[in-house]
């Protein structure tokens, strides 16, 4: 069951592939989750770039969003969100994200442990919206469908003084009831839900 309209996600994927051929960036957001989990495809594209790459992206008709501390490119109904060092406000400094990147299917992608933290921040900011629901599904997908390293996650949250994220994550998992979207492995998810909460409570 896809969260977004398949025509939109197909168009977004084509745009992402085009960008990957032309620019150097680190992929975050929903498409990064998809590359790790192969579950829910994304509509919008979220990338992190350095200042030099931002200059190259100016040919794509960049829009500066001072309120949300990011740059944007509009392609029809697809939004490309661009985050840059010394300007954007992510859960951790944009300039540090390159330390937590890995190659997946030809893309530079944030590792699951950092990707989860970034998704948690997004969820906090828009919990009661449609995009917030997608953030929650992405958070659960990372936990359920990647080889998630809890020790690495704890190390990152402590490094950036984000210990409250652990408590927030326990709340998200504890209140999760929408098994319909993951019905194809219902029993396994119920079992892993308890395991994940137990791991988080060790902190």
| pLDDT tens digit sequence for 50-78 | 999 999 999 888 999 999 999 999 988 89
* pLDDT over 70 at 91, yes or no: yes
Query: Would you say 121 and 110 are in contact if contact means Cβ atoms under 8 Å apart?
Result: no
- Name the token pair of 61: 């008709």
126 falls within a domain: yes
* pLDDT over 80 at 197, yes or no: no
Domain limits for position 24: 6-200
**Number of domains the chain contains:** 1
Among 31-40, 145-154, 173-182, the range scoring the smallest mean pLDDT is 173-182
| pLDDT tens digit sequence for 8-47 | 889 999 999 999 999 999 999 999 999 999 888 888 999 9
First to last CA, the chain: 34
* pLDDT over 80 at 179, yes or no: no
d(CA 68, CA 85): 14
Residue 128 confidence (pLDDT): 81
1 falls within a domain: no
Residue 42 confidence (pLDDT): 86
| Average pLDDT of the segment spanning 180-186 | 55
- Name the token pair of 125: 């900011």
* CATH number reported for the structural domain that contains residue 124 in this entry: 3.30.460
Residue 101 confidence (pLDDT): 95
| pLDDT tens digit sequence for 92-146 | 999 999 999 999 999 999 999 999 999 999 998 887 887 878 888 889 889 888 9
Residue 157 DSSP code:
H
20 falls within a domain: yes
21 falls within a domain: yes
104 forms beta bridges with 107
93 falls within a domain: yes
154 falls within a domain: yes
- For residues 189 and 192, the model is more confident at 192
Among the listed residues 89, 18, 88, the one whose alpha carbon sits nearest the alpha carbon of residue 57: 18
116 falls within a domain: yes
d(CA 109, CA 106): 9
CA distances to 38, 48, 126, 142, 193 from 175, rounded to whole Å, are 24, 31, 17, 17, 10
184 falls within a domain: yes
| Average pLDDT of the segment spanning 174-187 | 61
pTM, two decimal places: 0.86
d(CA 172, CA 36): 20
CA 38 remoteness from chain centre: 13
Query: Would you say 111 and 98 are in contact if contact means Cβ atoms under 8 Å apart?
Result: no
């Amino acid at each position: 069951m896809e969260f977004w309209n398949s025509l939109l996600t197909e168009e977004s994927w084509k745009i992402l592939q085009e960008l990957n051929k032309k620019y150097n960036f680190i992929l975050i957001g929903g498409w990064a989750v998809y590359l790790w989990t192969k579950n829910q495809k994304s509509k919008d594209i979220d990338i992190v770039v350095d200042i030099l790459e931002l200059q190259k992206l100016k040919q794509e008709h960049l829009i500066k969003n001072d309120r949300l501390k990011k740059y944007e490119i509009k392609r029809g109904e697809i939004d490309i969100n661009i985050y840059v060092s010394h300007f954007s406000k992510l859960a951790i400094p944009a300039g540090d994200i390159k330390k937590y990147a890995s190659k997946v299917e030809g893309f530079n992608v944030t590792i699951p442990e950092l990707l989860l933290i970034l998704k948690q921040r997004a969820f906090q900011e828009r919990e009661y919206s449609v995009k917030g629901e997608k953030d929650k599904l992405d958070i659960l997908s990372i936990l359920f469908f990647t080889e998630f390293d809890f020790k690495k996650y704890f190390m990152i949250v402590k490094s950036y003084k984000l210990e409250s994220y652990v408590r927030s994550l326990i709340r998200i998992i504890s209140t999760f009831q929408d098994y319909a979207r993951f019905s194809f492995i219902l029993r396994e998810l119920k079992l892993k839900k308890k395991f994940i909460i137990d791991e988080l409570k060790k902190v």
